[in-house]
Structure 1
């Protein structure tokens, strides 16, 4: 049997499999438009991990699938919400909206949840503030975070505290932002808070203080485990460049 015919038969079989298993987008197009290569990619990314198993294989498959079709998960979660408008389904869709940059829609979902009888949770308010900040609406994010603190005074979040400091800075409330950064660096895990604090110090002309904070960041990271240094590589690099510049 000619090789070309074998490839055609294999591709047709793989397209049929993709349709039956709900993977028609984008795989049917890829397989048909790139004969042989598209089918091989489908086997390696979709089929092989199912046989090999393991969390790392599944994670790798999800990453590649996300690149090929960034809105696949969004469509699936939208369909789930249409079938059952539960808090869990709406929150999952809102989280996915944040992942793919649909910040305005994400904010609407979180706001909807917060208005429900069982949706009054501080984490949803924090997520709403994140969406507002991502939409370049720092004043709205500040208001949401301050309302969160008033409604749930016992709620503590280093991530939320850092977001509040960043929103204050973006809103031009620099002195207040510096105070919040100074407070959050004491307990924020990782290097981001210190790096952002030092960058703001430098921006307002307090260069000597900024260098001290950058130096403290590098000392802290030097003592940290290797995996943590790798996770904080972006902020370590910023500190190194700022001190060497």
Structure 2
């Protein structure tokens, strides 16, 4: 007995394996173009963020473990640094307020923000920033404490921290300690703030009555700093050592320099210009 079948043979020929199927049309349009560029853009942004974080970490002297996180944890490391270090620092007053327009309240606000950050994450970089902020605010006792706290472990020879300590000690009248600190910065491979450091050492030596050494340093640096302070202090110490003619020439040079200054610069240098005038009036 034959059973019925539901299969009906078709008259279509079997497919020819040598004939390839028709190719699908390639996707086009601006959406496809943008989508294809996204991976490349993300890679570029990742590299840019890494470089920004690395430069910031170097300039702000972050702890060594931050460099490990940034370099050996691509994308994630820089992102963590951005959220925990960069963004909080960008929100600070110091980033947006010009130094010339700073007020005591803005300095206090900056110090308060930094102290809050220090309580959350205690790093050498934050303590250094606090030391700098206290110097600018005139709180030299705290500045000295913060810079001393930085000079530990791997950072005990860091010339920048010694320079900050020297500035604080000078303002506090601790001249021997200031001299010891500034001498620690006189390293052949450290050129940052070179003229400022030489000027500070000359001022310290003058306070210690080591006048000849101070005069040599003032003469070395006076013409290489953007202020008349070095020349004015040189004239005063020359006067103190009865080198009157040399002192007069220095004070006259300050007045000649002032004639070429812009009103803004003359206002900034008013203290030294007025001092030079008073010293010259003694010899009229």
Q: TM-score, normalised by structure 2?
A: 0.58
1:151 positional shift: 6.7
In structure 1, what is the equivalent of residue 26 of structure 2?
A: none
In structure 2, what is the equivalent of residue 177 of structure 1?
A: 214
Structure-2 separation of matches of 1:227 and 1:58: 14
In structure 2, what is the equivalent of residue 19 of structure 1?
A: none
Counterpart check, 1:234 vs 2:271: yes
- Check 1:72–1:153 CA distance in 2 against 1; reply closer, same or farther (3 A cut): closer
Structure-2 separation of matches of 1:154 and 1:56: 27
- Check 1:154–1:233 CA distance in 2 against 1; reply closer, same or farther (3 A cut): closer
Contact kept? 1:104, 1:135, Cα under 8 Å: yes
- Check 1:76–1:225 CA distance in 2 against 1; reply closer, same or farther (3 A cut): same
- Check 1:199–1:88 CA distance in 2 against 1; reply closer, same or farther (3 A cut): same
Secondary structure in 2 matching 1:166: helix
- Check 1:209–1:132 CA distance in 2 against 1; reply closer, same or farther (3 A cut): same
Deviations 1:208-234 (A, max 9, x none): 211110001111221233332222111
Among residues 216, 222, 234, which one is paired with 2:253 in the alignment?
Answer: 216
Runs (5+) with no aligned partner, structure 1: 1-54
Among residues 129, 132, 140, which one is paired with 2:166 in the alignment?
Answer: 129
State the superposition RMSD in angstroms.
Answer: 2.7
Runs (5+) with no aligned partner, structure 2: 1-95
- Check 1:93–1:156 CA distance in 2 against 1; reply closer, same or farther (3 A cut): closer
Secondary structure in 1 matching 2:227: coil
Structure-1 separation of matches of 2:191 and 2:170: 23
The alignment of Structure 1 onto Structure 2 pairs a total of residues equal to 187
- Check 1:108–1:172 CA distance in 2 against 1; reply closer, same or farther (3 A cut): same
Secondary structure in 2 matching 1:134: helix
Secondary structure in 1 matching 2:242: coil
In structure 2, what is the equivalent of residue 13 of structure 1?
A: none
In structure 1, what is the equivalent of residue 202 of structure 2?
A: 165
The structure where helix makes up a greater share of residues is 1
